[in-house]
Structure 1
């Protein structure tokens, strides 16, 4: 990935300069409905802020920053997300990843070898993938919630120097929809490829297929003007991914994409694919 494409993504990272003090524990009592509303509101404000910054409207961007702070900022959003992963709110999405990977992990049972996982947007060190003895998890997030999670923007993470810096599995659970601009989402998917490896764990002869696991709100794919399942398939295929597993609930879509090794991304612009007044504007643009 070029340095220029990395620079394009930096605008969302400006939120780091406006994060509020630690949010009080009162949010722990948020209802499921209030949690969803807080998450949606935060996404809408982030998108509006990105548009204001792109238009050079510093006054509007400042007003939106004030709204974000008024809602509790990124910490409040992350707390709501963490509540959403509790057992009584639908649970930990990485359980799906571990279930899907179980057949591939069997050869690692009773061996010292592990698959390396990069969990982007990590909220906990005690989720299913972190507790699996066959996985070695590196956790990063823009605003670390606990020890064991590195405070880091994936788009600013140094590119790998050797195989030890690459991963067999990358997890993007409810992360891509957090990126406020469509081009940034395309850049993130392209950058993931740079961090993947099919090299066996050191000392083993296990054949590896690198995989990308991601979770999105189902409406991003089924009710968007600019993204359909077919368009998502085309975008991922151009980057060398093959869909291995897919699961859809009333709220979320889970997918596991294996990387076949071919990498020939082509441009995908924002265009109306699914017209309708009730559609949302979620899109992925690849430049």
Structure 2
């Protein structure tokens, strides 16, 4: 019998592009941040008709490919679920549901149906399977149990979810307009407000600098923006050292065509030390599904 194969830590594994993961968690985190910056810049270049931006777009794609592309990013996020992603955020959600939503939970139909958008792992909610049934989806799944699906183009069906989870998903979208569309899209996957036996929750997680150090976004601005699309009740929010957690409840279905959230520097948010995270919401011209 041959020698047992030594198990290689994920941080030393190759992805299928041949790129090595860095052994240092700090270096991996740095590269993930770099990937985010490139992804945002790429979105801007793709919307431009300037020939210079076409050249820059090619250079960005080449750099992202050298890093390993989206496949590398997803695998790096897997190993960083306890560090770069601030831990398994489902634990915070479950804790809040138990502590702050007991009355709603007592009357809600079980199991609760959860749509886990951008899922890194398929089994985050497995410990709670007696009362939670999760559907994990992602653009580039790293597990066969995760459905390959673009949330922005996901077909709207009669199947609804009690909780839609956007944990470190919105910030990865490069275009601020698409970030707004994603937040609005969540309402189409929640039950009708007339169904009082279902929950109508959105679980949102962002990197803390997106709300405490952006020129265009703040905690207060985010709450006001969310109220404008019907999430008038922020059940709970929490700021850790790295992340901002929010659990919103949908209570209204305002007409989307009235939305007009532009990218504007907020009062008191000027300064070169600020980042450029923003969310833009434009009129869609129609009301979302009730």
- Report matched runs for 1:124-273 at 5 Å: 124-127=121-124, 129-132=125-128, 133-160=130-157, 162=158, 165-197=159-191, 207-241=197-231, 242-265=233-256, 266-273=259-266
Query: Shift in Å at residue 100 of structure 1?
Result: 1.0
Residues 33 and 192 (structure 1 numbering): CA distance in 2 closer, same or farther, change over 3 Å? same
SS in 1 for 2:263: coil
Corresponding residue for 2:8?
A: none
User: TM-score if structure 2 supplies the norm length?
Assistant: 0.81
Segments of 5+ residues of structure 1 without an aligned counterpart are 1-20
| Contact residue 42 and residue 68 of structure 1 kept, 8 A | yes
Aligned-partner Cα distance in 2 for 1:144–1:253: 24
Residues 168 and 157 (structure 1 numbering): CA distance in 2 closer, same or farther, change over 3 Å? same
Corresponding residue for 1:67?
A: 63
Instruction: List per-residue Cα deviations over 1:163-201 (Å, max 9, x = no partner).
Output: xx211100000000000011111010011111111579x
Say whether 1:32 aligns with 2:25: yes
Which of 31, 40, 45 aligns to 2:38? It is 45
Give the count of matched residue pairs. Answer: 258
Residues 135 and 80 (structure 1 numbering): CA distance in 2 closer, same or farther, change over 3 Å? same
Segments of 5+ residues of structure 2 without an aligned counterpart are 1-14, 283-290
TM-align CA RMSD: 2.6
SS in 1 for 2:264: coil
Structure number having the greater helix percentage: 1
Query: Shift in Å at residue 105 of structure 1?
Result: 7.0
Residues 105 and 118 (structure 1 numbering): CA distance in 2 closer, same or farther, change over 3 Å? farther
Query: Shift in Å at residue 31 of structure 1?
Result: 2.4
Say whether 1:286 aligns with 2:281: yes
Query: Shift in Å at residue 235 of structure 1?
Result: 0.7
